[in-house]
Chain A
Amino acid sequence: MADISSNFLGIKSPNPFWLASAPPTDKKYNVLRAFEAGWGGVVWKTLGSQVKNVSSRYSAVDYNGAKVMGFNNIELISDRPLDINLKEITECIKLFPDRAMIVSLMADNDRKSWHELIKKTEDTGAHGIELNFGCPHGMTERGMGATVGQDPEIACMVVEWVMEAATIPVITKLTPNVHSVVPTGRSVVKAGTNALSLINTIQSVTGIDLDTFVPNPNVGGKSVFGGYCGPAVKPIALKMLTTIAQDELTKKVPISGIGGISTWKDAVEFMLLGASNVQVCTAAMKHGFRIIEDMTEGLNNWMDEKGFKTVNDFIGRSVNTITHWEDLDINYHIIARINPDKCIHCGLCYIACEDTSHQSIKLDYGKPYNTYTIIEEECVGCNLCKLVCPVDNCITMEVHRKGDEYLNWKEFQRRGLPLNDH
């Protein structure tokens, strides 16, 4: 059995799965249930100035019958009194001393408020602090949340205030509602943050009710932009994570990965791209805390299969496989192959290629089943047929190199090699 325990800035947890700062972590009752279920740690829902929440708060994007492919919320930071939150945090730490307790904070934008809030938080015995620089709705109008995260200078200033007071590790959570997360990331690392976490939610409109004409979620006939998360945002989060993991400055601090993680596989992908641990929210909100069981078991089995003894054996392993387009090997060429024994004659590969790609699949009429074969000389190896094929491993991509040597675009141009003639 592999060791899946995690050590993030000295904060230990039995597994690398934390619950992200969100409704599942806003009170003792939920957090104790999460710990009982087996979660490695929690980031307590953001504490700060007093707010009031509205009804309704969530909306979702369904896709072909699959519910909650994407999730959207317009909830603000914790609307419970600060002293109750702090008291409950203290109790949770006592009851589960082996779990990580991070507290998310968003103080009013002045040094004193931050210092007071940090002091009170540290008095609970919490192991770390996460700075909420990302909340995209409600708090931004008050100059907090994403407003801070979107401006590297303001973010830097706030982190400096925080670092003056904090004696426990500080994680700065980045907003994705920017052109690039790197400038703010660099700025807060310079200001001394001990770690980064990303991404927070992405501003969104999930959909409109076609009877009332009001977008979701509907609050008395009006809506606002919400924060988008869930499986739909994972690819965007992975990209942003990579940019932080590759930047010379930001890669020096540990990263907590967030964004649509629903399974152990998702978690492994984040860790391969440089996340030391991961945070989960939407999947738990959809299914409850019990999903942690398969996350830990799946991770364990995968690590055993690959021969990894600890999570450190694979964290960051894929970071350098993402390169610049100019460095890709133009001589690498693949051609699709349809396995006739596995083909169920649905024609999805054919119509995708014929209408939208390179007309590389031949249709031989049959009643009721057509036969489809690859026209090898036309195939550009785009993967589209393989992606739309409903049968596992029916279409495979086989390597047929154009040349033995590695050849990138710059070299290709330098040699004046011929471009496509069609």
Chain B
Amino acid sequence: MAIISNRLTKEQYEQNFSDIHPPFENKTAAQVEANRCLFCYDAPCTKSCPTSINIPKFIKQISSDNVKGSAHTIFISNIMGAGCSKVCPVEKLCEGACVYNLLEEEPIPIARLQRYSTEMAMENNWQLFDRKPSNGKKVAIVGAGPAGLSCAHVLSREGVDVTIYEKESKGGGLMTYGIAAYKVTPQFCEDEVKYILSLGGIEIKYNQELGKNVSVADLQKNYDAVYLGIGVGVARKLDIPGEELEGVVDAISFIYDLRSKEYRDIPVGDKVAVIGLGMTAIDAATQAKRLGAKEVTIVYRRTEMEKPCTQVELDIAKLDGCGIIWLAAPKEVKGSNGKVTQLICSIMKPGEPDASGRRSPVDTGETFALEVDMIIKAAGQTPFEELVNGNQIKNSKGKIVIDNNCATNIKGVFAGGDAVNGGKEVVDAVQAGKDGAKAILGYLKLINN
């Protein structure tokens, strides 16, 4: 057993990481589905979209051969509508609420239709927004992820000059660095950022990290307002013996490497355990398998009833051949010669419901051992506690605290997205960016709110 790279041929890698949700082949295919849409009033799909895209409208616009209008309808609510059409867990959002579900019929493929319009807009570089003349106001945004880009786009449309400070060498944040490659390709992410920036008025300064190259105090001094969309950091520590052994990696770094290097250069074990069952855990498990791991086992401390990922995501993992052990909590990592050899798990049983209403797992005292050579930690992410404390930003265990108006404790400094909520979907961050922009426009007295 060993953690090695270059397990597969070029063709195998390509096949394993090809688009899991293929687009409509042509206009007819898209219109067949678009015409099924009932055009609901006060539509449940729209109400279930964190960015409130007017879904019936954009779908009818596909039907009526107004794809440009359709793309505008999507982007006015969600500037990352193209990426979201690929990565959103739509089965629990728009498509999950589609009224066809209540007829036991297939819901409208909203994501695929959204992809149809937005990709056409990107391919043709349709400029769907006019930027108001510059009003002289300057806003700094930290983080070119979904929250930052969304905030920037709204501000720039209103004539604000925006500068984004991004620690990585590419924009897109989680979309570019934190999501399974078979959902969005690195090329797509670059194109999406480029398309968003084509509005004008937004400059991204890459390789500029908060706390290293730039501070909140500096930004506050040099700009009329600041928005922090810094996201969250590495995977939460397990706090169990043996966690430091070679072969224990964190899912965020694992996926980051996958997204920034060639597939053949990503090492993966023969027998991999993934800890956690969120979207990131699924992305890590499936991709470990797709990189050529012989055996991947997801270890989750609760039952299937309480799973945080969607059924669709779980099915992807199952179809990829990943195993799942329910009611198992990591207790200890064992190794030899400094390398992982075993994951010892406590066998749990469902206990009383916790605050979220889910039954808390209770240790039965029994354990089992899983023979592994690699462990991927994916049980939630850690906020940048040190960083926000260092900048005197009020926080709760690292999560930035904001008021109803997206404002932090520091005057003129706003925040949103994963940095505030601790880690949600891309689409939630996009909405947070819009909310932040609205708050900033009010603060700068550019709109009344």
- Chain A residues near B (Cβ < 8 Å): 64-65, 344-348, 350-351, 363, 367-370, 390-391
Contact = CB atoms under 8 A, between A and B. Distances in A.
A368 B38 contact: no
19 contacts: A64-B35, A65-B31, A65-B34, A65-B35, A344-B99, A344-B100, A344-B102, A345-B102, A346-B43, A347-B41, A348-B38, A348-B39, A350-B41, A363-B42, A367-B47, A368-B45, A368-B48, A369-B97, A390-B38
B47 A368 contact: yes
A391 B100 CA distance: 10
Given A345-B40, A347-B42, A363-B42, 8 more contacts: A64-B35, A65-B34, A346-B40, A346-B99, A347-B41, A347-B43, A348-B38, A368-B47
Contacts of A351: 41-42
Contact of B63 (A64, A344, A345, A367): A64
B30 to A, nearest CB: 11
Interface in B199-220: none
- Across chains A and B, which 6 residue pairs bring their CB atoms closest together, nearest first? A347-B41, A368-B44, A65-B35, A351-B41, A344-B99, A368-B47
Nearest to B33: A65
Contact of A65 (B44, B63, B99, B100): B63
Given A367-B47, A368-B47, A65 B32 contact: yes
B355 interface: no
Contacts of A65: 31-32, 34-35, 63
Interface in B43-70: 43-45, 47-48, 63
B103 A344 contact: yes
A65 B39 CA distance: 15
The secondary structure that dominates the A interface is loop
Contact of B99 (A64, A345, A363, A367): A345
Given A64-B35, A368-B47, A391 B41 contact: no
A177 B103 CA distance: 44
B52 to A, nearest CB: 11
Contacts of A348: 38-41
B44 to A, nearest CB: 4
A264 B34 CA distance: 30
Interface string B81-112: 00000000000000001011011000000000
B298 to A, nearest CB: 30
A345 B48 CA distance: 14
Nearest to B49: A368
A275 B365 CA distance: 84
Contacts of B47: 367-368
A208 to B, nearest CB: 14
Contacts of B41: 346-348, 350-351
A351 B42 CA distance: 9
Contacts of A390: 38
Interface residues of B, number: 20
A367 B97 CA distance: 10
Contacts of B39: 348
A64 B63 CA distance: 7
A347 B45 CA distance: 12
Contacts of A64: 35, 63
B94 to A, nearest CB: 9
Contacts of B103: 344, 391
A323 B102 CA distance: 41
Most buried by A among B42, B45, B102: B42
Most chain A Cβ neighbours within 10 Å, of B34, B41, B43, B48? B41
Nearest to A64: B35
Contacts of B42: 347, 350-351, 363, 370
A262 B41 CA distance: 32
A25 to B, nearest CB: 32
A369 B41 CA distance: 11
Contacts of B43: 346-347
B32 A347 contact: no
A31 B135 CA distance: 76
Most chain B beta-carbon contacts within 10 A, residue among A64, A351, A370, A390: A64
Contacts of A350: 41-42
Contacts of A391: 103
Contacts of A345: 40, 44, 99, 102
B65 to A, nearest CB: 9
A346 B103 CA distance: 11
Q: Which one of B35, B40, B43 has the greatest number of beta carbons of chain A within 10 Å? A: B40
A108 to B, nearest CB: 46
A363 B47 CA distance: 15
A384 to B, nearest CB: 14
Nearest to B41: A347
B116 to A, nearest CB: 15
A65 B28 CA distance: 9
A403 to B, nearest CB: 35
Contacts of A368: 44-45, 47-48, 97
Contacts of B34: 65
Contacts of B38: 346, 348, 390
Nearest to A365: B42
Contacts of A347: 40-43
A312 B139 CA distance: 83
A344 B97 CA distance: 10
Nearest to B102: A344
Contacts of B100: 344
Contacts of A370: 42
A363 B40 CA distance: 14
Nearest to B65: A210
A150 B302 CA distance: 81
Contacts of A346: 38, 40-41, 43, 99
A347 B48 CA distance: 15
Nearest to B40: A346
Nearest to A65: B35
Nearest to B94: A368
Contacts of B99: 344-346
Nearest to B60: A64
A8 to B, nearest CB: 40
A95 to B, nearest CB: 41
Nearest to A210: B65
A371 to B, nearest CB: 11
A252 B43 CA distance: 55
A355 to B, nearest CB: 9
A187 B410 CA distance: 92
B49 to A, nearest CB: 10
Nearest to A352: B41
A216 to B, nearest CB: 16
A391 B40 CA distance: 13
B388 to A, nearest CB: 32
A345 B43 CA distance: 8
Nearest to A368: B44
